[in-house]
Homo-oligomer: A and B are copies of this chain.
Amino acid sequence: MIRRQMKLVAMVTLLAGTLATYAQDTDKTTISAIYQNALTSYDSYNNLKELCSKAPGRLVGSKASEKAIQILKAQVGKLNPDTTYLQSYITPSWRCKSKSQAIVYYGSKKESLNVVNLGLSVSTPDKGITGEILEVHTLNALDSLGSKAVKDKIVFFNRAMDNSKTTTFEAYGGAIDQRANGASKAAQFGAAGVLVRSLSTEHYDFPHTGVSRYKEGVKKIPNISISTNDADKLSRINKENTGVKVWIKSDTETIDSAETANLIAEMKGSQHPEKVIVIGAHMDSWFNAPGAHDDGAGCEQMIDVFRIFRELNIKPVNTIRLVLFMDEEMYQSGSKVYADFVGKEKKEHIVSIESDAGGLLPLGFGIDAGDSVINAIQKLTLPLIDYGIYKTGKGYGGVDIAPLKQFGIPLIGLTTNSQRYFEYHHSANDTVENVSRREMQLGTAAIASMVYLIDKNGIK
In the complex, the chain B residue whose C-beta lies closest to that of A16 is: B16
Q: Which of B10, B163, B388 contacts A438 (CB 8 A)?
A: B163
A361-384 vs B, CB cutoff 8 Å, 1 = contact: the mask equals 101000000000000000000000
Q: Check if A417 is an interface residue, CB within 8 A of chain B.
A: yes
Question: In the complex the two chains form, what is the Cα distance from A419 to B40 in whole Å?
Answer: 13
- A203 cross-chain contacts in B, Cβ below 8 A: 42
Q: Check A390–B390 contact: CB distance below 8 A.
A: yes
Of all A-B residue pairs in the complex, the 5 with the closest CB atoms, nearest first, are A36-B164, A16-B16, A419-B438, A15-B15, A419-B439
Q: Check if A437 is an interface residue, CB within 8 A of chain B.
A: yes
- A40 cross-chain contacts in B, Cβ below 8 A: 163-164
Q: Check A39–B163 contact: CB distance below 8 A.
A: yes
A256-286 vs B, CB cutoff 8 Å, 1 = contact: the mask equals 0000000000000000000000000000000
Question: In the complex the two chains form, what is the Cα distance from A419 to B361 in whole Å?
Answer: 8
Q: Which of B36, B385, B423, B438 contacts A12 (CB 8 A)?
A: B385
Known: A12-B19, A16-B15, A163-B40. A168 touches B386 (CB 8 A): no
Give min CB distance, A188 to chain B, whole Å. 33
Q: Check if A313 is an interface residue, CB within 8 A of chain B.
A: no
Q: Check if A18 is an interface residue, CB within 8 A of chain B.
A: yes
Q: Count A interface residues, CB 8 Å.
A: 35
- A363 cross-chain contacts in B, Cβ below 8 A: 388
What are 16 A-B contacts defined by CB distance under 8 Å? A10-B386, A12-B19, A15-B15, A36-B164, A39-B163, A168-B438, A201-B438, A202-B437, A361-B361, A361-B419, A363-B388, A390-B390, A417-B417, A419-B436, A419-B439, A420-B439
Known: A39-B166, A164-B40, A166-B39. A419 touches B442 (CB 8 A): yes
- A39 cross-chain contacts in B, Cβ below 8 A: 163-166
Copies of this chain in its oligomeric complex: 2
Question: In the complex the two chains form, what is the Cα distance from A42 to B168 in whole Å?
Answer: 16
Give min CB distance, A262 to chain B, whole Å. 31
Of A15, A39, A419, most B-chain CB atoms within 10 Å: A419
Q: Check if A387 is an interface residue, CB within 8 A of chain B.
A: yes
- A42 cross-chain contacts in B, Cβ below 8 A: 203
In the complex, the chain B residue whose C-beta lies closest to that of A203 is: B42
- A390 cross-chain contacts in B, Cβ below 8 A: 390
- A19 cross-chain contacts in B, Cβ below 8 A: 12
Q: Check if A35 is an interface residue, CB within 8 A of chain B.
A: yes
Give min CB distance, A50 to chain B, whole Å. 16
Question: In the complex the two chains form, what is the Cα distance from A439 to B168 in whole Å?
Answer: 11
Interface residues of A in 11-25 (CB under 8 A from B): 12, 15-16, 18-19
Of A12, A42, A201, A423, most B-chain CB atoms within 10 Å: A12
Give min CB distance, A377 to chain B, whole Å. 18
In the complex, the chain B residue whose C-beta lies closest to that of A41 is: B163
Give min CB distance, A415 to chain B, whole Å. 11
Give min CB distance, A304 to chain B, whole Å. 15
Given A15-B16, A36-B164, A40-B163, 9 further pairs, Cβ under 8 A: A10-B385, A12-B15, A12-B18, A35-B166, A39-B165, A40-B164, A163-B438, A202-B437, A420-B439
